[in-house]
Every structure is written in structure tokens, then in C-alpha cells.
A and B are shown apart, each in its own frame.
Chain A
Amino acid sequence: MKSYLSYFKLKFINGLQYRASALAGISTQFFFGFVYVLVYIAFYESGSSELPMKLSELVSYVWLGQSLFALVYLWYKDKEIIKMIKNGDIAYELCRPQDLYFTWCSKILGERLSMVSLRFLPVIIVSLLLPKPYNLVISTNILTTLLFFISLVLASILMTFLTVLYHIICMFTLDEKGVVNIFMVLSDLLSGLVIPIPFFPKYLQNISNILPFRYITDFPFRLYVGNISINEGYIGLITQVIWIILLFIIGKLVSNIAFKKATIQGG
């Protein structure tokens, strides 16, 4: 346990070094958030009868998504791990007394948390200070805020297990570009990062409600902006826990097969 914690710490502290790249990330996030908000406002000004979300909710959703982008996006490839798989260095890793699955989990979680902790604050502050229709609205309900933080913690665990699973799949395909890319793109779409789930066509909403991706992005954010009621929130939290357990079991099983049959590349 202690060794995994130190992997986590190592990655976390290492990640904090890259401040310049964080600055670039912040400006990108801010710019994109602004573009999204402008487009949505233009849509809302054009008017429509039945809308699944209020404008203020949607705008807050966008800003939350942009500020926590580094934590919730699923198109994430750990260069180090993929390089390891490709050049055969994974052989050394497999010799270590730790379980590689947990090592990867703690590494990825550490990296992502360090990325997000450098980035989220500026975006949140600026988006809070923006004038009325463009701004992030702070939730005044203490209970939803509390539930939001719990669900965010669960979401980051969920994200970690999912990302690790994709990296393990790389061990079979030996390439991160093909199948893995497709998985990542689809999960990004279905997580609601591109556009909130309520805007999906009905049948896709039903599909994405069953799948885990939604519980990483769409669920916590909509809970915070008040689009999901508290009772639904409890159910969502339980679903998150169920998916965490399921993904953990799947990930562990697949990793056992993958590490046993691991083909070592190159020399």
C-alpha cells in the first residue's frame, strides 16, 4: 500500500513542475469554454419550446467541464506506459513485487490530480467574475454541493479504472491508435463532456444512462447545477459505486490475462 502511495506522490509532485504547460492548458480551456458559451447563448436567444436545461445551468455546466477538464476527459494516454508496452520495458515492471495494476492506477490518478489542481482554480475564478449570462453560478444548496464533491471523488476513481483498462487493452493491440482511440472517443462523447446528455436523442440517452461514462462527467456536473434532483443524486451515487466495483473487477481480470500472456516487444 505504501509503495503505491509513493508512486502517487511521485507522479503528483512531478506533474506540478509543468507550470508553463498548465498555463497553456488554462488559456485553451478558457477560450473553448467561452466559444461553447457563446454558441449556446446564440441558440437560446433563437428560442425553442422544450429545453432540458436552463441557460444558466448549461453555462455553469460548461465552465465546470472546462475547469475540471484535466480530471474528467477520457481521451488520455499515459505516454510512459504506452512507451513501456511498445519497447518492452514492461518486462522490468512485471518483475517488481508490486501489482502492476495498482501501480498504474496510482500513477494515473496522481498525474491527473496534479494536472487538475494546477488548472481548475484560474478558470473557475474567471468564470465566476464574468457578467451575467456568461458566468458560472455558485450553488447555494449545501447538500447538493456536498453530494457534488462526493460524486466528483467517485468520478475520479471511475475515471482512473476506465483509463487503466484502456491502457491494458493496449497490451493486446500493441498500438494506442486504433481500437483504443475509438473507445476513448466514444467514451468522451457518451460522458457528456462534448454536450450534456439531456441534449442527446432519446434512445442514446437511454444507452448512456446504462453505461459508466456518464457518471464521470455529466452526472456530477448536472447535480451541481441543479438539473438533477437530490433523490436522483442518491441513486446516481449508488450507480457510481456499482460501476467502480464492476470496472475494478473487469480491469483486474483483464490485467491478469494481459500480464500473464504479455508479449515483450523488442530488446
Chain B
Amino acid sequence: MSLYLKYFKVHFKSELQYKLSFIMSFIAQFFVFFGYYFTIICLFDKFSNIKGFTMYEVLLTFGVIQFGFSFCETFFRGVDQFDDLIISGNFDRLIIRPRNILLQVFCEQVSLIKFSRFLQSIIVLIIAVYNVDIEWNALKVITLLCMLLSSIFIFLSILIVAAAYCFLTIKGLEVRNVLTDGCKHMAQYPIGIFKKGFVFFFTYIIPFGFVNYFPLRYLLDYETNNIYVISPLVTILYLIPAIILFYKGIKRYNSIGS
């Protein structure tokens, strides 16, 4: 952890060296994010609900998903850009160091520009929590925190799996974007609005349902069983095979030199 913080500080300072460029990119990222937000606002301007979910409920799921995604993008960007590491041959450097490899990969890059999205997702979350029609109590707050955590876990596992895939293909394929961006896009809405097959897929294969749908139903009092409070944490289980896959990948790794 302290190692990560140290890396983080270095990256932080280096990015701030280019002040104007940093500010401009920060603002630009703001607009990118705004595009997603804008779509939802527009649609709810014309429709009152989506399968019974109101705008603020959707914004809540949207905020949770964006929170997890942008958290990974900001702090674990090294995994996100893993193919760069392999192509440039810099991965060899990491292997020979006596530290945890995965941790080093996380540290390799930190993107403060994406931090702009992270901030915004928190803003959206606050707006949603403030306006949504939920009577908050201790259990529900814990549920929300679990949702946020699980959102980070799920994107982290997807990114690690995608990184492990790079060992096979060297070049990160666009398939990864379909996985991350596409899933992100879908999971912005409560999974329950889709047809049954998709709900099944996103509950048991990629467990987005546990991030944004089942706990949301608990928050909205559709479900009263307290097991739903910790249901998001199912996603931690998903992280284990992802990490195993990554280490399997390292065993197969052949340096491409240069």
C-alpha cells in the first residue's frame, strides 16, 4: 500500500508539471462524461420511467457504475493500458523486481485526467442520493457502500482478465473495449429492465446484477431480506479467478524483447 502511495505521488507530481494542458484535458474529460449524463436526462425528459424505475433511481445505478469504472481508470490505469507495457517490453522490468507483480502493474500509470470523471460520478451520486425516494437507514447506507465497492471489484476483475488476455495476443484487442465500455453502458441501467436472457447473463456470468440490480431493489424496498445488504460482495469471488488467470498468463509470457 505504501508502495502504491509512493508511486501515486510521483505520478501526481509529473502530471501537474504541464499545468495548462492538465486543466484543459480535465475540462475535456468533463464534457465526455457529460455526454453520458446528458443522454439519461434527455430520455427521462420524454419518458417518465423505465420499467418502473424513475430518473433518480437510474442515476443512482449510473453513478455507482461510473464510480467503479472511473476509480479503476484513475488509480489502476496500468492494467487498463497493459498492452503498452507488453509491447514496449517494459513488463520484463517489473518481473525481475522483488515485489508483487500485479501491484506494480497497478502503479505503472495513474491518470489524474480521468480523475475528473471520478469526481463527476461522485457528484452524480450525491445528486441521486439526495433526490431519490428512499428512506435511508444504517443498513441501506451499508448497502450503498457495498454497491460502490463491488462496482470497483467487478471492473477491476474485467480489466485483469483483459490484461491476462494480452499475454496471448500481445496487442490489446478492441474486444476489451466491448467488454468494459459495453458492459458499463448496459449496467448504467438497472439490469432488470432487459430481457430475461440478458438478466441471466449479467447475473451469473458477469455479475453486474449484484452490483446494481438486487441491492437497488433492496434500497427501494422491493425486497426486505437483509441478505441483500451484502449481496454486492459476491463480486469479490469474481476477482479470484481473474487473478489466477493473470498469473497463469505470466507463466506463459515470452518477452518480445527490444
Residues of chain A having any CB pair with chain B under 8 Å: 21, 24-25, 27-28, 31-32, 35, 38-39, 42-43, 45-46, 48, 50-52, 175, 177-179, 181-182, 185-186, 188-189, 194-195, 199-201
Contact = CB atoms under 8 A, between A and B. Distances in A.
Contacts of B254: none
B224 interface: no
B28 A27 contact: no
The 7 A-B pairs of least Cβ separation, nearest first, read: A178-B24, A24-B174, A181-B28, A42-B193, A185-B31, A48-B47, A177-B25
Contact of A27 (B27, B51, B175): B175
A181 B23 CA distance: 12
A199 B35 CA distance: 14
Identify whether the interface residues of B are mostly helix, strand, loop, or mixed.
helix
Nearest to A40: B43
Interface string B19-57: 011011101100110110011001101111111100000
Contact of A39 (B21, B35, B182, B189): B189
Identify whether the interface residues of A are mostly helix, strand, loop, or mixed.
helix
Nearest to A177: B25
Contacts of B97: none
B252 interface: no
Contacts of B32: 181, 185
Interface in B149-185: 173-175, 177-178, 182, 185
Nearest to B179: A31
Nearest to B176: A24
Contacts, number: 95
Contact of A200 (B27, B28, B34, B42): B42
Contacts of B185: 32, 35
Given A31-B182, A35-B186, A178-B21, A42 B194 contact: yes
Contact of A46 (B42, B52, B175, B194): B52
A236 B178 CA distance: 35
B198 A46 contact: no
Interface string B52-72: 100000000000000000000
Contacts of B27: 178, 182
A182 B28 contact: yes
B35 A24 contact: no
From A39, A51, A200, residue with most partner B Cβ within 10 Å: A39
A28 B186 CA distance: 13
A194 B34 CA distance: 12
Given A194-B39, A199-B43, A31 B25 contact: no
Contact of B50 (A43, A182, A188, A200): A43
Contacts of A42: 50-51, 189, 193-194
Given A42-B193, A48-B46, A175-B21, A182 B31 contact: yes
A46 B46 contact: no
B90 to A, nearest CB: 22
Given A32-B182, A178-B28, A201-B42, 17 more contacts: A27-B175, A28-B182, A31-B182, A32-B185, A35-B182, A38-B194, A39-B189, A42-B50, A42-B51, A46-B52, A50-B46, A51-B46, A179-B28, A181-B31, A182-B28, A194-B39, A195-B39
A46 B49 contact: yes
Contacts of B174: 21, 24-25, 27-28
Given A177-B25, A185-B31, A199 B189 contact: no
